[in-house]
């Protein structure tokens, strides 16, 4: 099956002035992030302030090199760049998304326990509910081991906590 390339230019009104926004959407299995003026796929063409790579594990090595590194290089001219990389690791030890997270400052969301006040990362293994009643799901705090209902947890505050603050820009695990 031949890879399809899609380049879209949107015209929009922002405070009375027309601004062109170039959006290029391509498959992770294609050798392009953008099409050249001649319609030829080129990963090295142009820059991007916002980069979104979904299912990064599906990105295949290209003749030009690692597609994730090449795409990130396209953002370096923007001081206010935003890089969003998502996906499910195929192999936690060697997968691209696992490597990117390991190299980062590794931020996790920590929620305050409504019962004891400790900040904890909420893990799926800590969610419990009575048999046949998932609407009654509650979180068991690993510190105090008491249950808090969903509405109680949502009403409490939380914050992002970096495991390695010295490692630079924030990378958040959701």
Q: What is the pLDDT of residue 90?
A: 82
Q: For residue 54, what pLDDT is reported?
A: 82
Name residue, tokens 């062109």: 20
* 3-state SS class at 148: strand
Supply 55's token pair: 């299912």
Question: For residue 53, which of 70, 40, 35 has the smallest C-alpha distance?
Answer: 70
- Measure the CA–CA gap between 26 and 53, rounded to whole angstroms: 10
Residue written as token pair 């997270």: 101
pLDDT at 19: 53
pLDDT of residue 44: 53
User: What is the model's pLDDT at position 7?
Assistant: 35
The pLDDT assigned to 13 comes to: 41
pTM of the predicted protein model: 0.61
Handedness of CA 50, 54, 57, 58 (dihedral sign): negative
- Supply the pLDDT for residue 5: 34
Contact between 48 and 73 under an 8 Å Cβ cutoff? The reply is no
* Residue ranges for the chain with pLDDT beneath 70: 1-46, 62
Which string of DSSP letters, residue by residue, matches 12-44?
EEETTEEEEEEEEEE-TTSS-SEE-TTS-EESS
Helix (H, G, I), strand (E, B) or coil at 127: strand
Map out the domains of the chain as residue ranges: 5-103, 109-158
Say how far apart CA 122 and CA 153 lie, in whole Å.
Answer: 10
C-alpha 50/C-alpha 59 separation (Å) is 18
Neighbours of 130 (CB within 10 A): 10
Length of the chain: 174
pLDDT in tens, 14-37: 444 555 555 555 555 554 445 455
């Amino acid at each position: 099956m031949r890879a399809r390339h899609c380049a879209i230019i949107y015209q929009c009104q922002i405070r009375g002035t027309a601004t062109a926004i170039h959006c290029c959407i391509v498959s992770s299995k294609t050798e392009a992030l953008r099409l050249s003026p001649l319609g030829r796929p080129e990963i090295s063409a142009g820059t991007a302030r916002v980069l979104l790579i979904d299912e990064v594990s599906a990105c295949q090595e290209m003749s030009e090199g690692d597609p994730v590194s090449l795409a990130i290089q396209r953002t370096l001219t923007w001081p206010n760049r935003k890089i969003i990389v998502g996906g499910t690791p195929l192999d936690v030890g060697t997968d691209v998304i696992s490597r990117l997270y390991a190299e980062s400052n590794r931020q996790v969301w920590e929620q305050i326990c409504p019962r004891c006040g400790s900040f904890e990362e909420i893990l799926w293994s800590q969610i419990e509910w009575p048999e046949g009643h998932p609407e009654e799901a509650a979180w068991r705090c690993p510190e105090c081991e008491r249950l808090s209902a969903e509405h109680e947890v949502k009403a409490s505050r939380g914050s992002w906590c970096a495991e390695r603050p010295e490692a630079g820009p924030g990378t958040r695990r959701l």
